[in-house]
Chain A
Amino acid sequence: MSTAVSDPAKPSSAGPVEHSIRAKLTDLLRPSQLEITNDSWQHRHHAPMRATGGGGGETHFSVHVVSDQFQGKNTMQRHRMIYAALSDEFAAGLHALSLKTKTPAEAKPAAQT
């Protein structure tokens, strides 16, 4: 149960915002799993991204996090926890987070019948 490295295929690609997201979410949630993917390149042509030099930027991330801190909370409450923890990043230009938030029990692959 260790914190997963975001993408072993792309070493040292994580920028300061990603590091910061990882540090704050690790601190807040003590996650059993944390995957952070930088999707910014998919959005670099958006006008607002160009305006902030988003070409090589850190504006869009996908976060998949598994934590027992989510126990008893609905999706909106889980997302709010994360948004609140990252308010500095949002103020500094973080533009979009795609969130998957699960408890360890929910993360277990459901047996499909």
Chain B
Amino acid sequence: MFRTALRTSFTALRAPARVPATALVSPQLAFTRRYITQEARAKIQQAVESTPVVLFMKGTPDAPQCGFSRAAVQVLGIHGVPEEKMKTFDVLEDSELRQSIKEFSDWPTIPQLYVNGEFVGGCDILLSMHQSGELDDLLVKSGVIPPEEPETTTQTQN
């Protein structure tokens, strides 16, 4: 399920410092639930580090199943995020992922964007970062897209 080809070597150094949220689980189910959660957590950790840009969404980029997910895909498209540096996960295809990603990110809604393993935010944050230029900065700084050529280099002909 998870592609590992693009994983960078520093991922092993990252310490997953997140606390499992099992508070709402009944004691009887706690063990099983916790086991599943930790397994899911490890899978997600691997997933968010597998590719520079990871988007958890509803549907696929070609067929988004939610307007917020559609907007997120479109914004990433506008910035020219190359296909090989981006991976999307359809949470509608995986009900466990759909729940566990919310716990993992401590974020209750989908879509969710990760860049270089770091949680960036949901649709609103992505849109406002797009408008402010922060998203472009982040993608350039993260090596996802090349820096835009400064306008001063544009040649004008007389």
Are A46 and B125 closer than 8 Å at their CB atoms? no
Are B121 and A76 closer than 8 Å at their CB atoms? yes
SS class, residues of chain B in contact with chain A:
mixed
Shortest beta-carbon distance from B65 to chain A in Å = 8
Segment touching B, from A1-9, A18-26, A28-36, A90-98: A90-98
Are B106 and A79 closer than 8 Å at their CB atoms? no
Sorting the interface of chain B by its residue count into under 10, 10 to 19, 20 to 34 or 35 or more gives 10 to 19
Interface residues of A in 68-92 (CB under 8 A from B): 75-76, 79-80, 83, 87, 90
Are B109 and A96 closer than 8 Å at their CB atoms? yes
CA distance A46 to B128 in the complex (A): 25
B108 within 8 A of A: yes
Shortest beta-carbon distance from B140 to chain A in Å = 19
What is the size, in residues, of chain A's interface with B at 8 Å between Cβ atoms? 15
Are B125 and A83 closer than 8 Å at their CB atoms? no
Q: Give the residues in chain B near A46, CB-CB below 8 Å.
A: 66
Q: Give the residues in chain B near A80, CB-CB below 8 Å.
A: 106-107
A99 within 8 A of B: yes
Shortest beta-carbon distance from B64 to chain A in Å = 12
CA distance A90 to B119 in the complex (A): 20
CA distance A96 to B129 in the complex (A): 19
> Which of A75, A76, A83, A100 contacts B108 (CB under 8 A)?
A83
Shortest beta-carbon distance from B38 to chain A in Å = 22
Shortest beta-carbon distance from B137 to chain A in Å = 14
- Chain B, Cβ-Cβ closest to A83: B108
Are B66 and A99 closer than 8 Å at their CB atoms? no
